[in-house]
Amino acid sequence: MQVYRFSPIESEEKLFDAITHIHFECHKLCKQSLGTHLPNAGNVGVFCHYDDEYTYLTTLREELTQLSENYNQKYFRLHNPVIIPAKGDVPETTYTFLYIRQPDPYRYHVGDIDFYVEESEYKKLKETVDLQAIPNARVFPSPHLDMIEMYDPDVDVLAYISTQAMTDIVQTTKRSA
């Protein structure tokens, strides 16, 4: 019995199937919570559930991305961006960074993406989230990252909202999620 939708991912094709799934499901979460789609920060995280899967995907990531001298880097720049065409009201999106998360057998999520808004809009949005006025949204519990997490128990992805400045930090900071 397969507990996780895509894991273990054992081919480049399955990786891109998972990325496509993450893309559309995260846009669904955003629309469900906010009533609209937000701009995408250009990064996608794929979550592993098995040690062998992580080994395979980090090796594949080394082929697909540029090397980095930043030892804490979480996201790696793709040699060839992943472009997912528009479908319905979901806009075309280009992913330029890839993150492969270490195995966590206790979390069922396939992956995540980050959205961003302007600083002033983010402050208002965060106040609304603090009032619990946005369904399936919460302030991400981290002292280092100021982000809003969108989730749904019936959806196997997570989506995050932050500012462009926080997006830049996330792309170079390793967080334990």
Q: What's the pLDDT tens digit per position in 71-127? A: 567 889 999 999 999 999 999 999 999 999 999 878 899 999 999 999 999 999 999
Token couple for 151:
């989730």
Across the chain, mean pLDDT equals 89
Percent of the chain with pLDDT over 90: 73
pLDDT score of 9 more than 50: yes
pLDDT score of 15 more than 80: yes
pLDDT at 57: 97
Higher pLDDT, 1 or 52: 52
C-alpha 83/C-alpha 85 separation (Å) is 6
pTM greater than 0.85 (yes/no): yes
HEC per residue, 109-177: CCEEEEEEECHHHHHHHHHHHHCCCCCCEEECCCCCCCCEEECCCCCCEEEEEEEHHHHHHHCCCCCCC
C-alpha 133/C-alpha 22 separation (Å) is 25
74-83, 130-139, 160-169: which range is least confident on average? 160-169
Cα 151 from chain centroid?
12
pLDDT at 74: 82
User: How confident is residue 40, by pLDDT bands cut at 50, 70 and 90?
Assistant: very high
Alpha-carbon dihedral 93, 96, 97, 98, rounded to 10 degrees: 70
DSSP secondary structure code for residue 4 in this structure: S
Domains of the chain: 16-170 (3.10.180.10)
pLDDT score of 174 more than 90: no
C-alpha 94/C-alpha 117 separation (Å) is 17
Higher pLDDT, 133 or 19: 19
